[in-house]
Structures are given as structure tokens and as C-alpha cells.
Amino acid sequence: MTSLSGWAAEASARHLASTLPRRWRHVQAVAAKAKTLGRLVGEDADLLVASAWLHDIGYAPDISDTGFHALDGARWARREGFSERLAALIAYHSCAS
Ligand SMILES: [Fe+2]
């Protein structure tokens, strides 16, 4: 069974790795950092890592819509069936309002 963060990593790679390699490297680094912090958030550790994988997915050319990557990423996450909570973490990362 694939974890939520596993699904998120695959989706992130699929949408970012070839089209936005610098962004992809950044996302990989953020996910690695999130993994080190996971124990601080207990049962939300996998959700934290999943949100790290997906936080910038709204930059992907095939996902970008409004041009506001946090919003576009969150809207994509909802369309893909990810939870409201994960979509909210994407929408509001970096204190986006
Ligand atoms: Fe980022």
C-alpha cells in the first residue's frame, strides 16, 4: 500500500521533474526536510511530508491556471481527490492568504 506521501511524491515528480527541474530540486529538498521534522507532528507526519511534496505543484505548466501557484496547486489537489486538509496546506503555505 502506497502512503499518502508516496502518492504525493509520484505526482510531484510527474508534474515537475521534467518541466521545472530547479523547482523539482527545491521540492525534493523541502520534502527531505519535512521528513526530518515528521516526528514533531506525530500522526500528521505523513500529511506533512505529502504537503511538502505538493506545496509548489501549482507551478507545473499543466496545472497552473490563475497564476497563483498556491491556489492552483490546492485546486488541483481537490480535483485529484486529495483531502481538504492537504489542499489547505498547499493553499496557505508560505503564509499565503
Ligand atoms: Fe516552495
- Domains in the chain: boundaries: 24-95
State in Å: Cα 94 to ligand 1 middle.
Answer: 8
State in Å: Cα 24 to ligand 1 middle.
Answer: 9
Query: Would you state the pLDDT for residue 68?
Result: 96
DSSP state letters, 16-75: HTTT-HHHHHHHHHHHHHHHHHGGGGGGGHHHHHHHHHHTTGGGSTTT-SSS-HHHHHHH
In angstroms, the CA 79 to CA 20 distance is 22
How many CB atoms sit inside 10 A of residue 23's CB? Answer: 18
Looking at per-residue confidence, does 95 or 57 come out higher?
57
Look over the chain and give the mean of its residue pLDDT values, rounded to a whole number: 95
Q: Cell 501557484 sits at which residue?
A: 69
Q: Helices 45-54 and 84-91, interaxial angle, to 10°? A: 50
pTM of the model: 0.94
Percent of the chain predicted with pLDDT > 70: 98
Query: Would you state the pLDDT for residue 42?
Result: 94
